[in-house]
Amino acid sequence: MAANSRCSAAEPPDLETQRREVEYLLRDCELRAGDSWFMVDQRWYEQWKELVESGDQNSSCPGQIDNTELFEEVCSNHLKERLVENEDFVLVPAAAWHKLLSWYGMVDQQPPLERKVVDLPSTLKVEVYPVEIFLCLHGNMENVTTAQFSRTDSIHSIQMAMCRAFSLLPTCECRLWMKSSENNCERLRNVHMSVLDACLSSGMTVIMETRNADGTWPSTRPLILRNSVEEQDSYRGQPGVCGLTNLGNTCFMNSALQCLSNTPPLTEYFLQSIYLEELNFSNPLGMKGEIAEAYADVIKQMWSGHHYSVVPRVFKTKVGHFASQFLGYQQHDSQELLSFLLDGLHEDLNRVKNKEYIELRDAEGRPDQEVAEEAWRNHKRRNDSVIVDTFHGLFKSTLICPQCHKVSVTFDPFCYLSIPLPVSKERVMEVFFISLDPYAKPMQHRVLVPKAGKVLDLCLALSEMTQVPETQMVVADVFKHRFYKIYTPDESLSCILDRDDIFVYECSAQSDQQVLLALYLRERAHYREYGSVSTTLFGHPLLLSVPRSSCSPEALYQIFLQRLARYVRAPNPSGELEEDDDDDDEEELYKSQTNGISDDDEQDDAEPTCSSQSEACYADGPANSRHQDPIAPSEVHIRPPPPEEGDVHSMCTGAPKPLCSGDAGPSDGHVHARGEESRADVDEEGNDEAENEEEPPQSDAIAEDDGKQEEACSPSSPVNERAAKTRTCRRKKRLFDIQAVNCNGLERETGPNLTLSSQPYVALDWDAEIKKRFYNENEAEKYVKHSSMDVPLQQTTVQLQECIQLFTTVETLEEENPWYCPVCKKHQLATKKLDLWSLPEVLIIHLKRFSYTKFTREKLDTIVDFPLRNLDFSGCLLRKKLSNGEPPSRYDLIAVSNHYGGLRDGHYTSYACNKDNGQWYYFDDSKVTYATEEQIMTNAAYVLFYHRQDKMRKPCVAAPSPSSAICTTSSTSTASSMQPPEADVSAVTPSCASAFAELTMETD
Ligand SMILES: [Zn+2]
């Protein structure tokens, strides 16, 4: 520049021309958003105006434009604060500025103060003060530069400015964060958003991070990769062969993600970052791009080849944020998640920014082709995304009114096909039958029952096998050594799940004289304090009916001992169990409680009917039983026999707390010796038998009236008996004490009297030491299998094509879901038929294994025979004869989501074929193993992913070497189909062992 010459860079026109030209430009100028205006120092401008208005060439020339006064300090280009228009500066439009600049030039080193017109809400104005922002990189927060942006600038322009400032390629994948305060950092997700809309203001910092080679982001890295920071540099595995850590019941999510991850067109869309251009931040149906981004992050990490396993925590949080049903960590359905995810991804990536309203037209007799094309066009006008491109097909739905025969045809898009499985009307149940014969082991039976049947049907089926009348069976669900539920005959079988442990007990014929006792076994803990005894349940509970008349503790003790005879050894009669008793406390406790469920009114009970053969066993004393080996001659006597045989029969109580079935608390005060009490005092060794031949204390005795019983069993009178009770004496200890409990096997609250109509629960409490000696745990757990178990369970197998046919079968709408007939003008139970019109590139088939009807909830374990290759739809596609021939309709399997287990719980895994090497893998949360094609088809297959052959590409890298494939063919997949296959590491040859170990290495 020609130094500081007083005037002009170029030769300015005469003063009048200058005045007219600038005046003209100012007069016609309106504020238009985006236009540039320039700030000029007010004093310089006034001096120029004076000059041109006076027309006096001799007036003082303003000289070069000089804005120095507007700056805080010129070198920083920082404006003074609170400058006022038309006092400190004037604004001139760009055209006028350029005239002035050309005539007068600018003071050296001074930047022009160009300012944009911004369209702020409800007002247009020149933005005198732009937003001044600090910029830095995530990796180097110390290195901060300052830049100014207009409020109308996009976030993308900040991104570009940062790439320039920090010498990064403008194509690098990066994320911007806005830091407004020390602990507030917010993602600038939408790069098309303006500085104003993003609420960026002066003084804030924008931080940029670039994606790591392993697909993670530096800012979330500590979250995503907790334990595996070091793996990043070392591991270069096959991209896509990557586990997903279970974050607590998230296997359903991992299973769905693995299937989607192995869907080639979708994964390539994300890996090539095409999604960045299509993120839809404004779609009210979407998640503001957050689901798509979180999904992209997971996919980029899984396909980086840097990880054995990825922790999808951010993704899970986002999913939970937008779909509260997935928020917790309870188990969910992989298909439900898949459905949500495909919908969420679609709306987040929907290329349609403003959805127009489109009225759907009925076919009204027009040809299918026309209606279908119209339907698809309309769908695409509102829904256009990679999800639609990949997964959406069209089916035809035909409704016919049963009354007026109006035919309504619509074509509806679908994202997956939910295919029904044929439902069997029958059901196989496995139950244990417990015979009355105490020496018979439980027998496992397999019975066929009507699915909609009642518990009685189960008994009837079992009765055919056992010849035991169904009226003498009680069905119970046993769980953790107790009765979870005791069923009545008219309860529905649907209450019983396949995994429940069902025991069917033979009981003697029920009558008013019988009471059905539920028997639990408990072991007392070693530490025992007065009044509070800690017990744990063990063994199998029993149900047995007992004559009401024999509910005295002693009689019950004998009955129970007899019932347990198979695995409880009776003590040696010569006093094996005898011990000194100096524990008065317990005796007192006993005395304070009445014992026995039996009512005095029952005294005249008739003899119990010994209808069943097993009943006879009751009558047999242990010593008489042919099964019995009560006292082996060689048995070692642990304790010497008591010095006085008489003591054996002493009246002192044998059991510390023999509350049989508590009908009274301590306040009851029925301490007087009744017959029951006296029986309770008889020693348990059956010695009475020897001495009182006429009255063995078994069922014979039970049949007797109380008075006789007393006489028979007690050598002393009731009066003496009472006296005997209160004295400390030697006594024989019982194997167990009888205690009334509640159905959970816990102490019953002493409270309302137990009524005989309710189900009495009784616990047999064992001391650990005695249990160890007399209770044969091994024998107790034994059971035998009925021949019905040998017949292989007929696994129902159906062809996938049969299920698809079922999907297209005419059905009548259900009452709850009628159709509004436009002709009849009312709801009608129309017939409905679905047909497939066009199929997508990737077809998702959901096998409806979870069947919920009004009456039943069940999981169908049917094996669906689905082909791995050449699933051909040409036979059932309605759309025919394209201009270029048949539409492509052959599919190959690419992924399967598996569900193992029942309704209430279960585990999800997946099989998937890697798009790059063509190898199948088994994904079980963070574990990944090789899979063979033979393993894929199981009754766990739940959601199938098929890729249309015309769109498939050949693998670009070789499949893993055959030696490593051996890893899985030699695997010993566990026999049960409930178990996912597990590669047997021990069978792996050394050469592939390392590869295998690498592959299955877990990171979490
Ligand atoms: Zn109608």
The per-residue pLDDT for range 832-850, each reduced to its tens digit, is: 999 999 999 999 999 999 8
Confidence band (pLDDT; 50, 70, 90) for 325? confident
The Å distance, Cα 394 to ligand 1 centre, comes to 26
- What one-character-per-residue DSSP string does 60-127 give? PP--SB--GGGEEEGGGTEEPTT--BTTTEEEEEHHHHHHHHHHH-B-TTPPP-EEEEEEETTEEEE-
Residue 510: the pLDDT is 72
The Å distance, Cα 809 to ligand 1 centre, comes to 21
How much of the chain exceeds pLDDT 90, in percent? 38
Q: In degrees rounded to 5, what are phi and psi of residue 653?
A: -70, 140
Helix (H, G, I), strand (E, B) or coil at 302: helix
Residue 10: the pLDDT is 61
Options 251, 401, 803, 821, the catalytic residue: 251
Confidence band (pLDDT; 50, 70, 90) for 910? very high
Residue 582: the pLDDT is 45
Report whether pLDDT(755) > 70. no
Nearest-CA neighbor of 175 among 150, 200, 138, 149?
138
Token readout for 865 is 């025979």
Strands 443-450 and 871-872: unpaired
Report whether pLDDT(229) > 70. no
Report whether pLDDT(222) > 90. no
Confidence band (pLDDT; 50, 70, 90) for 400? very high
Mean pLDDT score, 318-324: 83
Alpha-carbon gap, residue 708 to 345, rounded angstroms: 84
Assess whether 907 carries a catalytic annotation. Answer: yes
134 DSSP β-pair partners: 146, 205
Residue 885: the pLDDT is 64
Please indicate whether residue 557 or residue 846 has the higher confidence score (pLDDT). 846
Alpha-carbon gap, residue 67 to 78, rounded angstroms: 12
The count of other CB atoms within 10 Å of the CB of residue 230 is 9
Options 907, 947, 967, 992, the catalytic residue: 907
The Å distance, Cα 878 to ligand 1 centre, comes to 26
How much of the chain exceeds pLDDT 70, in percent? 73
Mean pLDDT score, 948-952: 93
One-letter amino acid for residue 642 of the chain = P
Burial class, 664, CB count within 10 angstroms (exposed 0-12 / middle 13-18 / buried 19+): middle
Residue 730: the pLDDT is 44
The Å distance, Cα 821 to ligand 1 centre, comes to 5
Residue 605: the pLDDT is 38
Report whether pLDDT(328) > 90. no
The Å distance, Cα 831 to ligand 1 centre, comes to 11
Please indicate whether residue 894 or residue 953 has the higher confidence score (pLDDT). 894
Query: How is residue 84 annotated by DSSP?
Result: -
Q: Read off the pLDDT of residues 452-468 as tens digits, 9 standing for 90 and up.
A: 899 999 999 999 999 99
Mean pLDDT score, 839-868: 86
Nearest-CA neighbor of 522 among 535, 540, 534?
535
Mean pLDDT score, 426-441: 91
The Å distance, Cα 828 to ligand 1 centre, comes to 7
Residue 662: the pLDDT is 34
Q: Read off the pLDDT of residues 104-117 as tens digits, 9 standing for 90 and up.
A: 999 888 889 989 88
Report whether pLDDT(572) > 70. yes
Q: Read off the pLDDT of residues 375-386 as tens digits, 9 standing for 90 and up.
A: 999 999 999 999
Residue 960: the pLDDT is 81
The Å distance, Cα 835 to ligand 1 centre, comes to 22
Helix (H, G, I), strand (E, B) or coil at 872: strand
Please indicate whether residue 126 or residue 671 has the higher confidence score (pLDDT). 126
Token readout for 71 is 């700056």
Q: Cα dist. 734→44, 652, 655, 952 in Å?
A: 117, 12, 6, 77
| Mean predicted lDDT score pLDDT of the chain | 77
The Å distance, Cα 876 to ligand 1 centre, comes to 28
The Å distance, Cα 420 to ligand 1 centre, comes to 28
The Å distance, Cα 818 to ligand 1 centre, comes to 12
Q: In degrees rounded to 5, what are phi and psi of residue 702?
A: -60, -35
Report whether pLDDT(607) > 70. no
Helix (H, G, I), strand (E, B) or coil at 749: coil
- What one-character-per-residue DSSP string does 267-299 give? HHHHHTTTHHHH--SS-TTS-TTHHHHHHHHHH
Query: How is residue 80 annotated by DSSP?
Result: P
Please indicate whether residue 596 or residue 436 has the higher confidence score (pLDDT). 436
Token readout for 919 is 């190898």
One-letter amino acid for residue 964 of the chain = S
The Å distance, Cα 855 to ligand 1 centre, comes to 30
Confidence band (pLDDT; 50, 70, 90) for 271? very high
The Å distance, Cα 826 to ligand 1 centre, comes to 7
E-only strand ranges, 231-379: 243-244, 309-310
Residue 604: the pLDDT is 38
Report whether pLDDT(213) > 90. no
Residue 743: the pLDDT is 80
The Å distance, Cα 832 to ligand 1 centre, comes to 13
Strands 784-785 and 761-766: unpaired
Q: How many CA atoms lie within 13 A of 675 on its CB side?
A: 23
Residue 531: the pLDDT is 56
Alpha-carbon gap, residue 642 to 732, rounded angstroms: 9
Please indicate whether residue 583 or residue 988 has the higher confidence score (pLDDT). 583
Assess whether 251 carries a catalytic annotation. Answer: yes
Residue 387: the pLDDT is 97
Residue 512: the pLDDT is 78
Nearest-CA neighbor of 984 among 975, 974, 999?
974
Confidence band (pLDDT; 50, 70, 90) for 690? very low
Helix (H, G, I), strand (E, B) or coil at 221: helix
Instruction: Kindly report the length of the chain.
Output: 1004
One-letter amino acid for residue 338 of the chain = L
Token readout for 683 is 């020693």
The Å distance, Cα 975 to ligand 1 centre, comes to 55
The Å distance, Cα 405 to ligand 1 centre, comes to 6
Confidence band (pLDDT; 50, 70, 90) for 203? confident
